[in-house]
Amino acid sequence: MKKLTCIVCPVGCHLEIDEHLHVTGNRCPRGESYAVVEMTSPRRTLTTTVKTVFPECPRLPVKSKSPLPKELLFEIMSELDHILIEKHVKIGDIIVSNIHQTGIDMIATKAIHPHS
């Protein structure tokens, strides 16, 4: 039996999941899915920054468009260490597509304008 707090919505239900992936404590079906994924293949949305050439915005905030496998996060962070943004970007622009062959894109969460 493993105890988890559901992070899918602000209610934060206290879940318990057993070795047969039977979930209790969830107020809605999303909690059950969350607990099963968390036990079998945990994922997290990655939010971080990448380097830019712009002195007024030396680090650009980025995030994964969908949650990434938790066990790959360190390797993905190292991959992002090599990224250098040299063009202006808008919020939502793809910064790295298919990061680490996960099928998931990293996108900008801030714009860099010509005179920002």
Give yes or no for residue 106 binding ligand SF4 (CB under 6 A): no
CA 52 – CA 66 distance, rounded (Å): 23
The single residue among 2, 3, 22, 27 that binds ligand SF4, judged by CB under 6 A, is 27
Q: Which amino acid is at 94?
A: I
In whole angstroms, how close is the CB of 57 to ligand SF4 at the nearest point?
A: 35
Do the Cβ atoms of 17 and 39 come closer than 8 Å? yes
Nearer to ligand SF4, 1 or 87 (CB): 1
DSSP 18-74: -TT--EES-SSHHHHHHHHHHHHS-EE--EEEEEES-TTSSEEEEEESS-EEGGGHH
Which range in 8-16, 36-44, 54-62, 77-85 contacts ligand SF4 by CB under 6 A? 8-16
Q: Does 28 bind ligand SF4 (CB under 6 A)?
A: yes
Task: Give the interface with ligand SF4 as residue ranges (CB under 6 A).
Answer: 6, 8-9, 11-13, 26-28, 30-31
